[in-house]
Structure 1
Amino acid sequence: MERSELVELLSPGGLRLLDSLPPYDAAADVVRVVSELRKAGHSPELVTAVLSQSRLRARAVPKFGEFAGRMLFTEAGLEQATRLRVAALHAGRFAGASLNRVVDLGCGIGGDAMALAAMDLTVTGVDADEVTATVASYNLAPFENASVLHSSAEDVDLAGFDAAWLDPARRTAGHSNTSRLTRPEDYSPHLDFVFGLSERMPVGVKLGPGHDRELIPAEAESQWVSVDGKLVEMGLWFGALARAGIRRSALLLGRTGIHELTAPHDSTDAPVGVLGDYLYEPDGAIIRARLIGDLARSLDASMLSEGIAYFTSETLQRTPFATAFRVLEVLPVDEKKLRLGLQERRIGTLEIKKRGVDVDPATLRTRLKLKGPESATLVLTRAAGHRVALLVERIPPLD
């Protein structure tokens, strides 16, 4: 969203028009909708602005739920915004540590600031981009204990604040058609500023889940967060926001609730064992936090192969931290024999999972020439260092 679009949207009739639109329908005839709005006397700029916002509000529902229908967004801001469910946990850290005056440096569209304000904390959002700061001001308007500054993070006077929250911009500048930044030195604000700030006050930082672990300060508590099986972020917590004795955490949010596995450091892998009747695939947060060994030992399981994130056991141990599979058969690794084996079993729909082998599942699926009414899951990996093809059955998750 450009500045001109925002001006149109915030005009006296702009927001009324936006709120009057029916729910966004991707299959709708956009040309017809535009024509109807233009015939009603609305300017081309306003029509573009409200239809863009309607689309973004629909896209925002998985992150913000019913609140999405009352918010404004930029394309880039929505892309990086924290899910409200996760933002509430962030805010809980500050509230639990009695850090009542929080500055959100790089607040984006204001998602985390909304959660902080909802916890009755006094929050000041800061964003260097004028349009984004204005959008955040609109989203935070219902909260008397929230305000927004248009400023760079580095220029803010931090006197009077108890703690800081930062979500450094990890995309190129702009409000749409941005691309992900791959080098931490290109983030805004720079990580040197972020980590330097942690030496002055309690700080929480949101980074991508694939952030280089070698760049994690030793004093930080590192927490990888997974939502409904999707790895969404790594959080770093400093000072009073970090929990004593915990430096590694995997936090899973799913339909069964919240589950967490913690440790004072990376765990060593469990010993490699013989393939049992059950195979386990740890959640991505467990893998990134390097807590696979602790989880395997807690389930009396052994690693399937050194350096590969699968473990195995003879008996089924239910856990929210890993997907369990029953091992049905060990099939030939040779592609021709594997194809014949699948044809004999009349398997026409095949989920292919792989780890530790150089295979493109989509290409392999085509070459296997699958045909038949049955469906199955195939795991291509290594067991004790040797390639294996495992026909497995997914165990339903815990209720």
Structure 2
Amino acid sequence: MESLRHQLTRFIQDPAARRDPAGLYRRLLTEAPVLDLGRVHVISGYEEIVTVLMHPGTAVDPAAIGLDRPGSSALAQVLARTLPMRDGADHTRLKRLATAAFSARRLAEIRARIETTTEELLAPLLAGGSFDLVADLAVPLPVAVSCAILDVPPADRERVTGWAGLVARSLLDPFAGAEQTAALDAEFEGFRDWVEELCAARAARPGSDLISRLVQARDAGQLDDEDLLAFVVMLFANGLETLTSGLAVAAWQLLKNPALAAGIRAEPHTAEAVFDECQRLGSPVRASARGLGGDVQVGDTLLPAGRVVLLLYAAANRDPRRFPDPDRFDPARAERRHLAFGHGPHHCLGAPLSLMAGGTVLALLAAAGAERELSTPLDESTARWSEQFVFGGLRELPVEVQQLTALGAGV
């Protein structure tokens, strides 16, 4: 058991140890779905994680169990008020305000915008002959989709993408020094001013978009100015690591497996299921932490109140008790309720949008393969993966594009 603890500690601390984690996941799930690492309990079993997530005493806000919130910048204070960081009735109240914007009817309207936006971004990349799928598509697409959904003028997309990147960097490095904090706050002021102008414009001329709905809720006393700012920040920045990492993982699978692209070309409606299975196997969000506001019984282990638990979603998504033959890539598998988008009260509100965007990207890349050869010079040994523990996407994914007619001409 000590060797398992050592292996898991290296996995958490050393990016090199995360390159091929399937063996560690199997050991955890077989030997210790709940493992005491001393400072935290690491939970890797699917049902065990669900038990913790559904317990009423489980909290995402570290302050709920007496711990300090990370970061001291003005941006960090706003991030602490975003929906993913709220608990209990407060979380329920805020989530209810946004739920209507993600109704089935609204999502059907949004689909066309996602497809158009993705086509606009991808077309010049395919025409250019080569591009980096991460920097040129997976980073700008989440922000472009948010801009399209929220009726933000296309002229503002570049600025918003820069600000969203600022928020993402702050999330990944919340313990910046004094000089970095001052720089963050100065840059964030521009984002805050822009958001205030956008909200004022929607207050004067409301539409059917989510920002107009949130402005109306603020004017009705259902949330304050800082809650409104936090909502808008979240809407623009939330997909920059999650969807960005998810798109890179899925495109990597497509480029490595030409038969997968051929299958999507033949049956485009399967693209979302393929993307979803990529999220299960690739788990762009490896893990999340929770604080326990009360005792929680997980299997044979009693986790005491005040304890911090690390929920290893990536391992749970390969739990054979939930997913038969879990290491096999199977978009048609019967059980698809994985944990890549979370579970319970904090299940990702934007999960349907991520599936739409991911499926659209895969369908367009697969369709492009009918007239072009899409390939990457990377292999398993040369691929550069994120060194962050929480997010597991590729740092870059160069794609080379060659017309099939040009290939045939040289034969």
Q: TM-score, normalised by structure 2?
A: 0.23
Bigger radius of gyration: 1
Structure having the higher strand fraction is 1
Q: TM-score, normalised by structure 1?
A: 0.23
**Larger RCO: 1 or 2 (CA < 8 Å, sep 6+):** 2
